[in-house]
Amino acid sequence: MREHAPVYRHPFGFWLLTGYEDVSWLLRAGLSVEDRNVAADNPLREMREVTYGDQMPRFDGRSMLDRDPPDHTRLRRLVSKAFTPRAIEALRPQVAGLVDGMLDAMARARHVDLIESLAFPLPFAVIAKMLGTPSSDHERIRELTGIVVRSLEPVADPDLVSAIVAADGELAGIAAEMIAWKRENPADDLLTALINAEDEGDVLDEDELIAQTLLLYIAGHETTVNLIGGGTLALLRDPGQLALLHDDPGLVANAVEEMLRYDSPVQASRRITLEPVTVGGVEIPAGAFVMASLASANRDERFWGPDAAELRLNRENARQHVSFGAGPHHCLGASLARMEAAIAFERMTARFPRLAPDGEVEWNGRINLRGPARLPVSTG
């Protein structure tokens, strides 16, 4: 696609950008993210309306991820106070303690599923700690979020639609219970801050509060699971790079950037045009749904060079990847994900220099939040 049709109108009615420069431009262009701006006769919108009918998830379009200014500005400002560099750095000792405990358990077991043992429980525990939520059924929440994120890709199966709507409703109920509990048990945490947050006299209404809580819960762990799982798989497939990281732990920060580039935890991001735009000499009309392939941009040979498809942990410009997006919707939790992954990879490679595959990887079957669902390893 990058070579022959870098600006492509898909038969489903959306536009697909695959080159680094075009994707980078789109993310920063300040276009809309609100689905209501998609043209009424767009085939993708028609397919979505036919598929979902009157079953549209209740909180669809209520989180800051799906809002334009001024709503996006207001919501992001209310949440961003918990993601300052100082706030994230204060979590470092807790993250390190969690990682050490999980690696201890892996060492005792010797043969483990890395997703079950580290990639999932670490970010889930951290975001739950940040939010200050009561102990909950982690496995059930994991199962439900795995279904809900399928709504981020084209859906044509009525049974999947019903499952998404049911999971969305159950998660909303769980979030509402957490919020009610937190109102009775306030503390110095993110959920209490969201409940009490004001922005020039404006507060979150109940639906907005539930939507932001669910966004933080889902985005706070799903993407980092893919980063740690996909990054580990990349190292296992390239033992030379695994050895390089073990021998030079100071490389870990750049290594995380290269893992983000090499296998993007989020494959694509979308924008909606409000007026005609010209990209790569091709005019895209107003009301178009434009998909930016982050994963493709991260492998564009024109930007990264002829070794774009190779993992190279000392790649000098690795941090120029687009895996966290860019512009107004740049990932709010990027610094948190970077810290979690850096601690996990530095300590895991130091502890298990002979880490090795121990069975076939199983994928999660998703188009957008693609990553390993099961990654059997031997600690050596």
pLDDT value, residue 199 = 56
Q: List the one residue out of 301, 314, 299 whose CA is nearest residue 261.
A: 299
pLDDT value, residue 60 = 60
As a whole number, mean pLDDT of residues 283-291 equals 96
Judged by average pLDDT, the poorest of 48-62, 88-102, 149-163 is 48-62
Q: Which amino acid is present at 131?
A: L
Query: How much of the chain, in percent, has pLDDT values that exceed 90?
Result: 65
Top pLDDT among 212 and 237 is at 237
β-sheet with 7-9: strand ranges across: 7-9, 15-17, 289-293, 268-272
pLDDT value, residue 58 = 59
pLDDT at 104 over 70: yes
Q: Which CATH number fits domain 7-378: 2.60.40.10, 1.10.3720.10, 1.10.630.10, 1.20.1070.10?
A: 1.10.630.10
Backbone angles phi, psi at 170, to 5 degrees: -70, -40
Give the model confidence (pLDDT) of 127-162 as tens digits.
988 888 877 777 888 889 888 888 888 777 888 888
Buried-state track 195-230, b at ≥16 Cβ within 10 A, e below 16: eebeeeeeebeeebbbbbbbbbbbbbbbbbbbbbbb
Sorted by where each begins, the domain ranges of the chain are 7-378
Q: How confident is the model at residue 201 (pLDDT cuts 50, 70, 90)?
A: low
For the chain, the average pLDDT equals: 91
Q: How confident is the model at residue 347 (pLDDT cuts 50, 70, 90)?
A: very high
Report CA Rg, the chain. Answer: 21
Judged by average pLDDT, the poorest of 87-96, 203-212, 228-237, 309-318 is 203-212
pLDDT at 338 over 90: yes
Please state the separation of Cα 164 from the chain's center in Å. 18
Residue with tokens 């009490």: 196
pLDDT at 353 over 90: yes
C-alpha–C-alpha distance, residues 308 and 303, integer Å: 8
pLDDT value, residue 152 = 80
**Do residues 218 and 149 lie in contact, with contact meaning Cβ atoms separated by under 8 Å?**
yes
